[in-house]
Amino acid sequence: MATIKDVAAAAGVSVATVSRVINNGPKVSDKNRAKVKQVMVDLGYRPNANARALVTQSSPTLGLVFSELTDPFFATLAGGVEKIAREHHRQLLISNGLVSADTERQAIETLLEQRCEALVVHSKALSDDELIAYAEANPAMVLINRHIPQIAHRCVWLDNRAGGEAAGRYLMSLGHQKIACVSSRYHIEDPQLRLEGLQQALAEAGQPLADIAIEHGDPNQTGGEVATQNLLSKNLGATAIVVYNDAMASGVISVLTDNGYRVPEDVSVIGFDDVLLSRYLRPKLTTMRYPIEMMAMEAAEMALSLSSGKTVSDCHKYVPTLVKRDSVLALRD
């Protein structure tokens, strides 16, 4: 592959001049500029990004650590980050953290070795302390979907508890009194927070959630199916079910339907996330919207701002909003 020297030699100018042309620098005669450009094309010259990064001490690259590209939720997250990277003409480097502490650490380290100028990290496995240390050592690193008070200004997060509360309040406002919950033991804190929010809302209204009304499952369709079967066998007589996420909710609806319950006429179901899926389900799923794409975009913008030395505001909390579709029925007006 041709180097800058080859171009300089072929064009009969110095490497300095070629460099100026590459970088659209000033002070190059039109004649030389044209000539150099022509030679670059003829030789198929392509500047070496690594050499550039080495000498400028930074590469126009945005690193992203997260887990499962295949999961629609994470795909949307990645899509948001990619969009911002593209707008800013930055390369996107992706490392999978696999939701394990070792792998997440490894993923961050690799990206740091690449000298990415900015970093968006989705970490659920690393400790607060370790992330704080990373954040302090790397000014252009932003956390997404995580809230650590000491570095709050570097965290873009969702108030899961408020989401759980809102779901509970909404159902109660429609007259639901017997409410059940399909939660998850997914090894992150989100399910627990959503459940706590729900419990608090119900407790405040004097109709607390019975322990027996809570069922756990894997955070996917099958998990929702299994949990619902368990729930049904308890014969609770719930009129509404609050579910950890939309994927589980699809399983919930499926098992309810198979067992002769109509949704929402007999049982209302409310999901969480508002991934694409929720619009494909029948009935269309009422759910708490997790504005993950918007959050990912903000995280990426923040990281890029920080890398250029700008300061950012110190609160990036998002609150889930209710998306009313067809899976919840009003028991009264």
Partner DNA sequence: TTGAAAGCGCTACCAC
Partner DNA sequence: GTGGTAGCGCTTTCAA
Residue 228 lies near its own copies (rule: CB under 8 A): no
Residue 313 lies near DNA (rule: CB under 7 A): no
Residue closer to its own copies (CB basis): 213 or 253: 253
d(CA 294, CA 76): 9
269 within 8 A of 328, measured Cβ to Cβ: yes
List CB contacts of 120: < 8 A, sequence separation 6 or more: 62, 63, 64, 65, 81, 141, 142, 144, 296, 299, 300, 303
What residues between 229 and 268 interact with its own copies by CB under 8 A?
Answer: 250, 254, 257
What residues between 137 and 196 interact with DNA by CB under 7 A?
Answer: none
SS3 22: helix
Question: Which among its own copies, DNA, none contacts residue 5 (Cβ within 5 to 8 A by kind)?
Answer: DNA
- The token pair at 59 is 């590469």
Residue 292 lies near its own copies (rule: CB under 8 A): no
Q: In the complex, what is the shortest distance from the CB of residue 55 to DNA, in angstroms, rounded to a whole number?
A: 3
Q: How far from 218 is each of 96, 164, 215, 246, CA to CA, in Å?
A: 21, 18, 11, 12
Rg, C-alpha atoms of the chain = 26
Exposure b/e, 228-260, CB count within 10 A at least 16 = b: bbebbeeebebbbbbbbbbbbbbbbbbbbeeee
Residue closer to its own copies (CB basis): 26 or 260: 260
Binding segment for its own copies (CB under 8 A), chosen from 69-77, 162-170, 187-195, 200-208, is 69-77
Q: In the complex, what is the shortest distance from the CB of residue 160 to its own copies, in angstroms, rounded to a whole number?
A: 23
Question: Which among DNA, its own copies, none contacts residue 69 (Cβ within 5 to 8 A by kind)?
Answer: its own copies
What residues between 159 and 178 interact with its own copies by CB under 8 A?
Answer: none
What residues between 9 and 28 interact with DNA by CB under 7 A?
Answer: 12-17, 19-20, 22-23, 26-28
Query: Contacting DNA (CB under 7 A), which of 37, 43, 52, 323?
Result: 52
SS3 92: strand
Using alpha carbons, select from 315, 313, 251, 302 the residue that is nearest to residue 142.
302
Which residues are at the interface with its own copies (CB under 8 A)? 44, 46-51, 53-54, 59, 68-70, 72, 75-76, 78-79, 82, 86, 91-96, 109-110, 112-115, 137, 221, 250, 254, 257, 276-277, 279-282, 293
